[in-house]
Copies of this chain bind each other. A is one copy, B any other.
Amino acid sequence: MIDTTEIRRFVPTPEQYAWTFGGVDPVMRIRPGEVLGLYTEDCFAGQIRTTSDLFSRSCEYPFINPQTGPFYVEGAEAGDTLAVHLIDVRPARDWAVSTTVPLFGALTGTKYTATLQPPLPEKTWLYQVDRERGEVTFDALDSPHEVHLPLEPFHGTVGVAPAAFEARNVLVPEAFGGNMDTPEVRAGTTIYLGVNVPGALFSLGDGHYTMGEGEACGVAVEGAMDTVLTVDVVKGTFCEWPRLESDEAIMVAGSYRPLEDAFRIAHTQLVTWVASATDMSVMDAYQLVSQGARSRIANVCDANYTVVAKIPKRFLPGGVPWLDGAHERVRERGRAVLAARGASS
């Protein structure tokens, strides 16, 4: 039997980073119920450390956004759903960085929204991190303005191997998860990902210490992360798009373009999930989601844009085991891990 409070630690070497979802051999085999302690490097692979390190000089596509993984989960088969529960998501450093990237971001022409205009200036901002106070400090480059922003750590990227024999770059969010860049992927949340290949092959990375809605400039406050998580497998149920569950809410992430299609995917999936898991009709669920949704824009800069449809559980019929009760199970395990850690510290 698994000691669910024992943490199996994995820190990838640079050669072990994954640059795609799919098409990569697993770095480790794990069993449902195991607890992993993972180190994830920042999206720049740690190459940007000062305000004079510019993206285009320090980084080389496609070696951007290194992922820790993939992990082969025993017993996970195509048609199942993998539940990844984040127990703790903690900055691994006391500094972080953000940048502009030429022709990347929401407020500039890009590779896809192509224009003939020259790119915006390339800049790098360095943030100091105060983990005790829960703050990161923005320090303006061209004026004395300095301000504390709340530390709200999450993983921009988490996903499994895609369907249809695809391998996708780690900057892409889609039905397999990936680079969704949503703050909802934080400690306490369970992420449900439909399994497409044996073992599911999930990986994660892209630690964000904080981020504004939509990741407007294309880059969050990026930093390495120490993350504790556990996984479970929901047999025989397949989530077409990533679902998320916290103690308070259920959610679906939709990722595509244009942004209204991301909204449509996420909300259509949420409505039909509610209707299928309760005694509500689709039209009633449509109405209730329409009035009760607390959805957020995740990113408007990646290869696909992401919206996360979200509804508080308190608005929904009670006592529903949303995905076979998986969140409650992994949540309990997470609490035990935190308690054990607290006891030992």
Contact = CB atoms under 8 A, between A and B. Distances in A.
A153 B279 CA distance: 29
A6 interface: no
Interface in A94-126: 98, 100, 105-109, 111-121, 123, 125
Contacts of A20: 164-166
A62 interface: yes
Interface stretch (A8-16, A229-237, A264-272, A332-340): A264-272
Contacts of A321: none
A138 to B, nearest CB: 6
Given A62-B163, A164-B20, A258-B259, A293 B214 contact: yes
Given A107-B271, A283-B100, A286-B100, A167 B165 contact: yes
Given A169-B165, A257-B261, A258-B258, A119 B117 contact: yes
A59 interface: no
Interface in A131-172: 138, 140-145, 147, 149, 163-169
Contacts of A291: 98, 138, 149, 210-212, 220-221
A184 to B, nearest CB: 13
A287 B167 contact: no
10 contacts: A19-B164, A112-B265, A120-B286, A138-B288, A140-B281, A141-B283, A145-B278, A147-B316, A215-B290, A216-B271
Given A100-B283, A140-B281, A259-B263, 6 more contacts: A19-B164, A143-B279, A213-B310, A220-B291, A257-B258, A260-B300
